[in-house]
A and B are shown apart, each in its own frame.
Chain A
Amino acid sequence: MLLTESGEHEVTGAEVSTEALWCSAKDALRATGWEAKPEGLCKGEVCVPLPAGRAREFVDGGRINLAALWRHLGRPAVRSERGHVWVLSESARERQAALASLEAPDFALPDPSGRMHRLSDYRGKKVFLVTWASW
């Protein structure tokens, strides 16, 4: 199971070790948006060249090592002890840069009836976004 910025993604046939998370190209693209191209590893228009001589750490035939890619990007990749659940998130630098743009990061969260609300649904109104908790 991969938990990424876009949600929870079931992945079958991934090969996992302490340092590696090899996924099929299809699963990698679906869960993370990243894919192998001649330029390197890319997400949309953004490409990251692979370090010289180390391409095999990242790409092997049709598979991508997402853990290696995440380390290369300086992003947290955290895995359960058995390696059956991985969290791939954004780096501190990316989060900080997003905040520094002052553009309120968009999110989608459910109300009690399960209906999803996005912050961007309320563009055009001032939003007082306030957190609370039962605990």
Chain B
Amino acid sequence: MVIAVAMDSREGDPLPWIDAAKPTYPTLIDREHRLAELYGIVNVPQAVWIDEAGRIVRPAEPAGAYEGFRRMNRATREMPDDVARRTAQAKATYLDAIRDWARNGAGSAYAFAADQARAHLPTVTEDTATGQAMFRLAQFLLRHGERNEAERWFREASRLHPDSWCIWRQGAGVTELGLAAQPDFWERVDGLGAKRYYAPVDMPGMP
């Protein structure tokens, strides 16, 4: 089954999307990014595969995402053809892998054995753990009208956990489309250089 979790601090924001998707599975709202603390989620979409016994068979990883958006035309939001193709291919490859696991379980080539799963775990450091705690503090203060101090904690959280786009984008301003994609976002993305926006996924056929 699917459990979809919106990493959205402003609780109302995901509701129109959920209404439009008419999901047949649980859609939950993670205002304080609990899944980031527990599973090491740093971006969306990221997914974790969990078997019937509650064991992790694929730790947090980008879920069929390809960072082709970095090459889109930022004025028109159009994608070059080859980027659009690779984006579609990443999504299809990942979806096929999930279906294969749903059918074949531990026999699926995409389900990691325990030692492989451990080798793919995200690394939690004192800095990232403290950064997540600061993020939670920032969320609480923001919700209680203390925006100025909240913004300082967002910045400090992001400084300690720079790989978390979830922290950075929740602390950032949004465009009229509700996207945390103002010029400062693009600056930060461009600043990645050769570094990936979505961590590479260890799966044959993924770009």
Contacts and interface: CB of A to CB of B under 8 A. Distances in A.
Interface stretch (A34-42, A56-64, A86-94): A86-94
Interface in A69-106: 74, 76-81, 85, 87, 89-92, 95-96, 98-100, 102-105
Contacts of A3: 136-137, 140
B4 A91 contact: no
Interface size class of A (residues with CB under 8 A): 35 or more
B49 interface: yes
A132 B29 contact: no
Given A76-B129, A126-B52, A132 B7 contact: yes
A77 to B, nearest CB: 8
A134 interface: yes
Contacts of A130: 2-5, 45-47, 63
Contacts of A98: 38
Contact of B1 (A110, A122, A135): A122
Contact of B174 (A109, A117, A135): A135
Nearest to B128: A92
A125 B25 CA distance: 13
Contact of B121 (A99, A109, A111): A99
Nearest to A82: B149
Interface in B16-41: 17-18, 26-30, 34-35, 37-41
Interface stretch (B53-61, B78-86, B186-194, B199-207): B53-61
Contact of B133 (A89, A99, A119): A89
A126 to B, nearest CB: 6
A122 B50 CA distance: 10
A120 B15 CA distance: 24
22 contacts: A1-B140, A76-B126, A78-B137, A85-B137, A85-B140, A92-B129, A100-B118, A105-B38, A110-B28, A123-B54, A126-B1, A127-B1, A129-B3, A129-B49, A130-B4, A131-B5, A131-B6, A132-B4, A132-B5, A134-B6, A135-B13, A135-B174
Interface of B: 1-8, 13-15, 17-18, 26-30, 34-35, 37-41, 44-56, 59, 63, 98, 101-102, 105, 114, 117-118, 121-126, 128-130, 132-134, 136-137, 140-141, 146, 149, 153, 166, 169-170, 174, 178-180
Given A85-B140, A90-B37, A132-B7, 18 more contacts: A8-B140, A76-B126, A76-B130, A87-B133, A87-B136, A89-B129, A89-B132, A90-B129, A92-B126, A95-B38, A98-B38, A102-B117, A104-B48, A107-B34, A109-B30, A126-B101, A130-B46, A132-B4
The 9 lowest CB-CB distance pairs between A and B, nearest first, are: A109-B28, A105-B38, A134-B13, A92-B129, A76-B133, A130-B47, A127-B50, A76-B130, A135-B180
